[in-house]
Structure 1
Amino acid sequence: MRNKEYRVSDIMTCCISNMLQDNETVFHGVSSHLPMVAMKLAKSMHAPELVHLNIPGGVNPSSIKNASYSSAGADLLGTAEAYFPLEEVFDLSMRGKLDVAFLGGIQFDINGNVNASVIGDYHKPKVRLPGGAGSAVLIPTAKKAIIWRVKHDKRTFVEQVDFTTTRGNLWKIVTPLCVFEFRKGKLYLESIHPTSSFEEVRDNTGFELLYDEIKFTPEPTEQELVMLKKIDPYDYRSIEF
């Protein structure tokens, strides 16, 4: 399959989808269009018993076509099998029963620290960010925390974050260039997307790349691309790009 037949948003969505397993309980928050579509893709392709949780409280919504409002639209509740409110999601995670949580951040360093609070000095910041919100609870307590970020540059992946909003227990970070895996207390380069290169990842990362071997993320299959058009006709997965 040639690169021109898919986009970076398709690669990221399929990559994330393939990280999810059948029978896992998975949560996404607001402004999470790409992982929302990835969860729907997983349920449609290889994980039919995956349990989809979200901000409105809808369990396993049958449709995401009208969930456009910050990926928290009424469609996620109106077409759901059951209701599971947000406060119960945090309780579920703290009891060790939430398998995967999709979370965000602005800065990341090689030690797995996540900054979602400020850029610059905390008391006199250049930019004040939204803060940890659910990340401060879910990253330490979910079994697997997956972060996606549609920007990959040296201001995002830094030697040391300006402020540590939360740390540890990361599993994967998926960017437009690659996938990082957190292990042994460090971020390791797991795979490079077929639309990128080692040199591009290296030149846009503010810390030394650690890796065991150079691997490439699998290309989206024809079946995945067909399913993406079916379940995401409004292309929510690309909304952040």
Structure 2
Amino acid sequence: MTSPRPHERLLASMMRALPESGIVLFGADSVFPMIAIFAARRWGKNLTVVSAVNTIDPRPDFLPYSTMDPPAGHRGSYVIPMAEAYDLVGRGEVDHIFVSAAQIDAHGALNSSVIRMDDGPDKRLPGGGGLAMILRTVSVVDAWKPVHLRRTFPPRVDFVTGVGNLRHVITPMAIMTMEEEELRVSSIRSGDTLDKVQDATEFTLQLTTKESGLSRAIAEPTAEEIDCIERVDPRGVRYATEVY
């Protein structure tokens, strides 16, 4: 097997983070969560999926480049109105969700609202999309980023869009885990080091002290995991986003 690309490494970590069974949801602008969920379901996880286009348990013929394209919800067993989907989240009946943000700080707060600028007007971002509620009501929340950059991981976010049940932050370089109300490194990609991850992170990092169910070294994707990814994404939608 040829060496996996960073895209498959990130997706494999996301597949492993998903529960063995339960209700999961992927939202708008969430192509990697969408691919990871469908690949994990093919891998054998018993997941009931709520799609961004408001269908339950879709069985798409192909995955689109946007989670808001109708094919993402094709052949769903039920059409769920947006208000009803948010009610599902609000009642705590969603078991897992992947989220992302422009900034994630040392204490697990996420910012998708505004970036403060020293030399000009603040930059407004799209906003939370229910993030404040999601982080408080979904049983397990994992954040993900396709790149690991210092500006993404400041000591404090510029604006707190949401904070709550964050478990892991998954990037191509590392997995950070909430422990004692701060993000600590639980696993590092083979070939990278804690110093390299620290150079790409603005806040000071520590290693986790407790067993988190994750190895210190992130295992390479298996042939079975890669096969599942390729079968649900034969068009290579995952490569539309740069990952490193």
Whether these two folds match at TM > 0.5 is yes
Per-residue CA shift, 1:105-130, capped at 9, x if unaligned?
A: 011111111111111169x7432111
- Whole-angstrom CA distance in 2 between matches of 1:9 and 1:85: 32
Q: Which residue of 2 aligns with 1:228?
A: 229
Question: Partners of 1:140 and 1:207 in 2: how far apart?
Answer: 24
Kindly report structure 1 stretches of 4+ aligned residues shifted beyond 4 Å: none
Counterpart AA for 2:34: M
Instruction: Give the C-alpha shift of residue 195 in structure 1.
Output: 4.7
In 2, the alpha carbon distance for the partners of 1:109 and 1:99 equals 24
Residue deviations 1:19-55, cap 9 Å, x none? 11232100111111111110011111131x2111112
Q: Structure 2-normalised TM-score?
A: 0.89
> How far apart in 1 are the matches of 2:175 and 2:202?
15
Per-residue CA deviation, residues 83-120 of structure 1 (Å, 9 max, x unaligned), is: 22332222112211111122110111111111111111
User: Aligned equivalents of 1:45 and 1:148: distance in 2?
Assistant: 20
Q: CA deviation at 1:71?
A: 1.4
Give the match's secondary structure for 1:181: strand
Q: Please report the TM-score for the alignment, with normalisation by the length of structure 1.
A: 0.90
Q: How many residues align?
A: 236
- 1:62 is displaced (CA, Å) by 1.4
Q: 158, 165, 169: which one pairs with 1:169?
A: 165
Show structure 2 runs of 5+ residues with no match.
Answer: 210-214
Q: Percent identity?
A: 28
Shift of 1:222: 0.7
Cα contact 2:179–2:208 (8 A) shared by 1: no
Contact 1:57–1:77 under 8 Å retained in 2: yes
Secondary structure at the counterpart of residue 158 of structure 1: coil
Residue 216 of structure 1 aligns with which residue? 217
Query: Given the superposition, is the C-alpha separation of residues 197 and 232 from structure 1 closer, same or farther in structure 2, using an over 3 Å criterion?
Result: same
Structure 1 gap segments, 5+ residues each: none
Cα 1:66/1:231, change in 2 over 3 Å: closer
1:78 aligned to 2:79? Answer: no
2:104 alignment partner, SS class: strand
Query: In structure 2, how many angstroms separate the alpha carbons of the residues matched to 1:8 and 1:117?
Result: 28
Q: Secondary structure at the match of 2:143?
A: strand
Asked if residue 197 in structure 1 is aligned to residue 162 in structure 2, the reply is no
SS of 1:224's equivalent in the other structure is: helix
Compute the displacement of 1:178 (Å): 0.8
1:60 aligns with 2:57: yes
RMSD: 2.0
Q: What letter corresponds to residue 25 of structure 2 in structure 1?
A: F
Q: What residue in structure 2 maps to residue 136 of structure 1?
A: 132
